[in-house]
Amino acid sequence: MIENGKYSHGRKVAEFEAALAAYTGARFVIGVNSGTDALVLLLRAAGLRPGDEVVVPAFSFGASATSVVLAGGRPVFADIEPVGYGIDPAAVEAAAGERTRFVMPTHLFSQLADIDGVLRVARRCGLIVIEDSAEAIGMRRGGTHAGLFGTGGVLSFFPTKTLGAIGDAGAVLTGDPRIAETADALRHHGRFGATIGDFPAIATTTGLPGVNSKMDDVQAAVLLAKLDRLDGDIARRASLATRYTESLEGVTGVRKVPLPRRDSVFYVYVVEVDSRDDLAAHLSANGVQTEIYYPAPLHLQPCFAELGHREGDFPNAENACRHTLALPLYPDMSTDDVEQVCGLIRAFYQGRRA
């Protein structure tokens, strides 16, 4: 790639897009420079107009809602389901009003949201379904890959994701040729491959106010190499997750463990626990790093203050923020490591009871 001298939006990117299309079954894959940009550009390409409302979950990564604002829309929050942490289809229906044109479910942590339920509500309310499938590479239901149940979806290749680059990268997935063409133009300054009158040579027009969100070839090259190992990594993650679940089920203080399903891909292994912050401190003191995804719900973030939400509006989202903890999980981890983490958790709650 370096010898070839084309570092951005070049041949490696095209190769990776084709490989990812084959892996996911997407008709169109548009490589961009982050999952966040993929969401913004997909919403724009799918026809979001200024002021359009988009129903999003109150519990997710910030970009699930800020992308709506960046695309010119207005997020409307809905609560999640307590198991699986996906948006609750009944809450989507209750939240949808006259100006609502989109719903954007997020597939969080290790399984798909209730996508059939969301699609049913979307049909009833006339909503376009865009999936925040940033975390969901490898998750499929009935042969359909995440991001392809509705109008389109995204992937993030942030280094910590299941398929991670060595920097930022992302992609739009869609089966719609018009949306693909628009997203393709938007990532590259809004250029379409047309001439203007008889102006020669440029062969591009600024048809839309696009952005610079091209993918770097070095990221595409790394992702291409790692794509070959992806299914092996996913299988390894699954067996480590099963080990965690077997070890932690029924442990005092552990409220909920994820139960592997057919659509499960363990991007992260998230449990619900009592005294979450104390447990995290205990694990950290013993050399075990954990993460909290996500410490505060979206409806209470300062940047959405004008929506006027308060604590108590979305109890399931708030409960998830208070009690969830992501335990270490990566393909190179050993089952002994898993047992060691589980041993520390058991000891922590035994110590508190004594």
| Candidate ranges 78-86, 129-137, 206-214, 309-317; the one touching ligand PLP (CB under 6 A) | 129-137
Among 24, 34, 110, 219, binds ligand PLP (CB under 6 A): 34
Q: Is 54 in the site for ligand PLP (CB under 6 A)?
A: no
Using CB under 6 A as the binding rule, whether residue 158 contacts ligand PLP is answered as: yes
Out of 66, 106, 174, 316, which residue is the one contacting ligand PLP (CB under 6 A)? Answer: 106
Alpha carbon distance 240, 291 (integer Å): 17
Q: How far is the CB of 41 from ligand PLP (least distance, A)?
A: 12
Neighbours of 178 (CB within 10 A): 11
* Peptide bond preceding 294 in cis form (omega within 30 of 0): yes
**How many Å apart are CA 224 and CA 230, to the nearest integer?**
10
Q: Choose between 135 and 272: whose C-beta lies nearer to ligand PLP.
A: 135
Question: By the 8 A CB rule, do 270 and 326 touch?
Answer: yes
Q: Out of 161, 214, 226, 256, which one is annotated catalytic?
A: 161
Exactly one of 56, 134, 173, 241 binds ligand PLP (CB under 6 A); that residue is 134
Q: Which stretch binds ligand PLP (CB under 6 A): 128-136, 213-221, 258-266, 338-346?
A: 128-136
Residue closest to 130 by CA, chosen among 163, 107, 96, 156: 107
* Cβ-based neighbours of 265, under 8 Å, separated by 6 or more: 110, 111, 136, 137, 138, 139, 162, 234, 237, 238
What gap in Å lies between CA 335 and CA 237, rounded to an integer? 11
Query: Which one of residues 79, 93, 135, 184 is an interface residue with ligand PLP (CB under 6 A)?
Result: 135
Rule CB under 6 A: say whether 61 interacts with ligand PLP: yes
Contact region for ligand PLP (CB under 6 A) — 58-66, 90-98, 171-179, 283-291? 58-66
First to last CA, the chain: 61
Shortest spacing between CB 185 and ligand PLP, in angstroms: 20
CB of 77 to ligand PLP, least distance (A): 15
Q: Looking up tokens 């699930």, which residue turns up?
A: 64
How far apart CA 155 and CA 158 sit, in angstroms, is 9
* Angstrom distance (rounded) from CA 274 to CA 303: 29
Q: Is 36 one of the binding residues for ligand PLP (CB under 6 A)? A: yes
For ligand PLP, give the closer residue by CB, 106 or 247.
106
Cβ distance to ligand PLP smaller for residue 171 or 240: 171
Question: Which helix (DSSP H) or strand (DSSP E) does residue 171 occupy?
Answer: strand 170-174
Among 63, 71, 130, 185, binds ligand PLP (CB under 6 A): 63
Taking the complex as a whole, how short is the minimal distance between the CB of residue 186 and ligand PLP, in angstroms?
A: 16
Q: Give the CA angle between residues 263, 266, 270 to the nearest 5°.
A: 115
If DSSP codes are grouped into helix, strand and coil, which group holds residue 106? strand
Binding mask 64-103 for ligand PLP (x = CB under 6 A): x---------------------------------------
Helix (H, G, I), strand (E, B) or coil at 256: strand
Q: Is 12 a catalytic residue?
A: no
Return the active site residues.
Answer: 161
Contacts with ligand PLP by CB under 6 A lie at 34-36, 60-61, 63-64, 106, 132, 134-135, 156, 158, 168, 170
